[in-house]
Amino acid sequence: MTTYAVSFMVKDSDDNPLQGASVSLDGQTATTGADGSASFAEILPGSYDYAVTLAGYDSPWS
């Protein structure tokens, strides 16, 4: 079966990368590195909910 890699880039409103953000996708969690990126491997095709959290930041969807 085909799987995909899914990548996230987490930045603040000034376009600066945010290190240490927690990104959750399909029951998996990754933490962003110094460049603000996090990725997941072997994701099956489909639609998924995801969440990004970091202390001191509010979700723009709140």
Q: The whole model's pTM is what?
A: 0.85
CB 44 within 8 A of CB 1: yes
**Residues 31-47: tens digit of each pLDDT:** 999 999 999 999 999 99
Q: Is 61 exposed, middle or buried (0-12, 13-18, 19+ CB in 10 A)?
A: exposed
Query: Which residue, among 3, 14, 2, 8, has the nearest Cα to 31 in the 3D structure?
Result: 8
> Which amino acid makes up residue 5?
A
CA 55, CA 57: separation in Å to the nearest integer?
6
**Residues 11-38: tens digit of each pLDDT:** 998 999 999 999 999 899 999 999 999 9
CA 26, CA 43: separation in Å to the nearest integer?
9
